[in-house]
Structure 1
């Protein structure tokens, strides 16, 4: 079958003209889709989850009566739909299990507190349907017969979202941005990592075409950072640039822990673009200057880190073939002020440290070759060793610390750096 073409793509090469005029990266992909693998250290559970994922889209059918009930449910208001136990269960599953994924770098837990409240408000069915669709898709990995329900809610949400985009006022801009993040997660879990990326493109449009003040806190800001992390995940796996507006600018006030995490997220996005963007229109001096600027930003970020970001132990964890890196584990979701802090948020720190190591790898891979000595075997060996050490650190952080949101966020870094593992014990 011919590949689907986005409505805003005219297929011109190398970039469609609509993307070129908007200053955006063309989103077409010639890569086949891959599967999103859920990790667990329990081999039997890993096998169970993998088999469930393989069978998730095998076309399991439900009875016509049950299908009609699902269609009736999706046509109702959130308040009425929540009178059905399956929908209540999915709504609760989102709050308890999935929302923390999105609140990874958010001290206010917007996706766990504000999104559920907004989702059940009258006239906000798009956000509610995106939430239920994603929750059903995730629960379908361990429960049966939820794929059809998730698909129906997903299709209805997409239809309403596309219709809403014709409204230039976009009164629910924050809610639609949050919904596109949830829809993108639905697509990732369904194995649509490279091929279509339809709703990641939708989040991209929301995040780049409307001004969002990142110096304040709110659902729009949280949605923007979630969009950027989802973009980074896909960009690292697909080895392509990150799509964000040239006007995207972030100067953090490095007092709160989530600001440190957002700062390194932004540096990583820019570093990915240095490595994977088309450099044909840039001079060698321009690229070298950009490399130096990013290296300086990373050094500044690392130099200013509070001591709470440092591991408290490297004691070997049984069964872990990677370096064990133990980080502080407090309660999740508290505001963290470093002037009075003696503990920091585990999942946030794990993600930030992994992003930092990915930047180190990318900078090493793209290091300017200014002299002949940089091409000599000792320099090459040092470069390889640096890369391997950071890869082992990324894996060690993922395997030592059990925080689920941090492990979910680690998918992009792990997918990117796995190719640099040398030892069979590490690769296995």
Structure 2
């Protein structure tokens, strides 16, 4: 019967009803008996054709899962989940599976446990999406043996968990990143897996895209991940509106599912019960069969492919056949090209039509979830500015929400590479359109909330993002000038004018006046924030409760803010001040004239850096909300390089590893880099 799996035992053991050890090319039972092993019958393969396959194997699902057998034992109260066909799916099931029968079903992945997405999608003429390494559940390393994530995987909710998630400064996947198929072998040998596990695998595979799975992932995104993206948005666009928009927007729905699945892969299927009550029974949409054993990375890869495919179709007018290059193309480039094709004359001189505006918000939200790198993001928002056709405009709620997420990714990623940000802080119309008030002297100030639609807390948080972006670009310019001095070349990238003289370039060098202006802007910002930026709880010298009653005190304070926006913003404020303190340019005129004066200046800088480092760690020790913790990894890495005590080092390591354990945010690379620097 076509498609029915065959037994894996050799022909002799099969006829004698003996248990075969399945050793290749000859089983050991035949060898020990001194007879020639007749070999194995070649297994049959078929391509998963989506709904037809689900209908074919529906009886097995009903028999195994509705009766509450061993496949779902130990999960009392958990409902049966129907693996019904996904009617909305625009492409058929993409993964070729080999099914074999041995008193039940089991799945053999070939090549063994191949986790590169391009090898998972074996339907002919389908694109090759980007490679997502599968993480070994025991070692925490991917299939190529590298630790999960990098330091730069610690900037955005998407990239810090796995696609690159290298937070950019995440790197796009290139052809060189594609896996060596021979090395992609699962740590679990297929022959040692029992029937229950193998049936769970195929059941999980068939659940991809089902109503229950999509609902489960959307709810997980709404409750856990969306608040990370709404850090400086009191209107909660990603938590409230994006899940509703996903009902009618395929690319948004699959983007949400991809990010939620990836985060579940990072935490091995565990879900936080914070706020859900201690004894309440979970809702149907909060549970998933055998969540800890599900290959969430594979599901994330599948959903990423579906989201990128739909995004390509929707931004191409619906007439373009999805190609391999289109799926691998940056979502930012896809949307940017779509915006550039739209003629301003079709929109009018005063406003953008509601249909286009809604689609622009949805596509921006999708790429905020899918993005691997920020190349092209500035030109994308420039296109949106041109389409508004007005001198003084403010972006819509959805566009603003995406903009500020890109802004945070931008300056945190650029800081560690000492490169200029993609979003230029000197482009004042862009930042004003994003909702902050910047006067003609290029100074940020707070305004009445009703005039721009942002709360005072959001204005302060977003205004600080603009200031930190200015600091990062100041550091980038300083680096360029230093390199020019070392090499004896003209700092053309600093002067910005081709052929400019060395004297002209020297005038644009980031000098002490520029540094003082930035320091003054930070101080002015701090003095103008509302009272909600004061902590509601602060213990200056908390006692280490893990030690006896006479134990010592912790080296950091413990600080807690009632608003997550304020907690995160104050951490980033101290981070920006530290970056300025450590990068003050020398000034031959006003610099201290004696060695003692210079030494005194160094001591003052060290004292302030230590104070601000303690504040960053103190907020982290207060165990703030999840949306604060996921963005503090680069900050803890930065301050960790400024502190010297062994006790301080251990606390920072514990804080970093706690973020990864609780939230799935990659931190191990940051820990290893810090430990390496401390041991020098």
TM over 0.5: yes
CA distance in 2, matches of 1:69, 1:284: 63
Which of these residues, 236, 240, 254, is aligned with residue 415 of structure 2? 236
Q: Which residue matches 1:173? A: 360
Give how far 1:120 is off: 1.1
Q: Which residue matches 2:639? A: 417
Q: Which residue matches 1:373? A: 592
SS of the residue 1:101 aligns to: helix
Which of these residues, 395, 401, 404, is aligned with residue 225 of structure 1? 404
Q: Which residue matches 1:8? A: none
Give how far 1:373 is off: 0.9
- Is 1:351–2:542 an aligned residue pair? no
CA distance in 2, matches of 1:418, 1:241: 23
Aligned pairs (5 A) from 1:179-190: 179-184=366-371
Give how far 1:384 is off: 2.1
Give how far 1:391 is off: 1.6
- Is 1:389–2:611 an aligned residue pair? yes
Give how far 1:322 is off: 4.5
Give how far 1:284 is off: 5.0
Which of these residues, 283, 289, 306, is aligned with residue 530 of structure 2? 306
CA distance in 2, matches of 1:158, 1:427: 42
Give how far 1:65 is off: 6.9
CA distance in 2, matches of 1:284, 1:420: 31
SS of the residue 2:538 aligns to: coil
User: Which deviates more, 136-145 or 316-325?
Assistant: 316-325
Contact 1:181-1:203 at 8 Å conserved across structures = no
Aligned pairs (5 A) from 1:60-99: 66-67=204-205, 70=208, 73=209, 81=210, 83=211, 85-99=212-226
User: Which deviates more, 418-427 or 108-117?
Assistant: 418-427
SS of the residue 1:314 aligns to: strand
Which of these residues, 150, 163, 166, is aligned with residue 34 of structure 1? 150
CA distance in 2, matches of 1:426, 1:239: 26
User: Which deviates more, 218-227 or 201-210?
Assistant: 201-210
Contact 1:107-1:258 at 8 Å conserved across structures = yes
Q: For this pair of structures, how many residues does the alignment match?
A: 340
Q: Which residue matches 2:254? A: 129
**TM-score when normalising by structure 1:** 0.71
Give the 3 Å change call, closer, same or farther, for CA 403–267 of structure 1 in structure 2: same
Give how far 1:413 is off: 1.7
Q: Which has the larger radius of gyration?
A: 2
Give the 3 Å change call, closer, same or farther, for CA 181–232 of structure 1 in structure 2: same
Structure (1 or 2) with the greater helix fraction? 1
User: Which deviates more, 236-245 or 311-320?
Assistant: 311-320
Aligned pairs (5 A) from 1:226-305: 226-245=405-424, 246-247=426-427, 248-250=430-432, 251-252=436-437, 253-254=446-447, 255=449, 256-277=456-477, 278-279=480-481, 280=491, 281-282=494-495, 283=505, 285-286=507-508, 287-288=510-511, 289-305=513-529
Contact 2:468-2:576 at 8 Å conserved across structures = yes
- Is 1:323–2:497 an aligned residue pair? no
CA distance in 2, matches of 1:353, 1:220: 25
Q: Which ranges of structure 2 fall in alignment gaps of 5 or more residues?
A: 1-147, 156-160, 166-178, 191-197, 270-293, 316-333, 343-355, 438-445, 450-455, 482-490, 496-504, 545-552, 651-680
Q: Which residue matches 1:210? A: 384
Q: Which ranges of structure 1 fall in alignment gaps of 5 or more residues?
A: 1-31, 39-48, 74-80, 185-196, 330-345
Contact 2:538-2:560 at 8 Å conserved across structures = no
State the Cα RMSD in Å. 3.2
CA distance in 1, matches of 2:299, 2:381: 29
Higher relative contact order (CA 8 A, sep 6+): 1
Contact 1:177-1:203 at 8 Å conserved across structures = no
**TM-score when normalising by structure 2:** 0.46
Give the 3 Å change call, closer, same or farther, for CA 227–138 of structure 1 in structure 2: same
Give the 3 Å change call, closer, same or farther, for CA 355–215 of structure 1 in structure 2: farther
Give how far 1:99 is off: 0.7
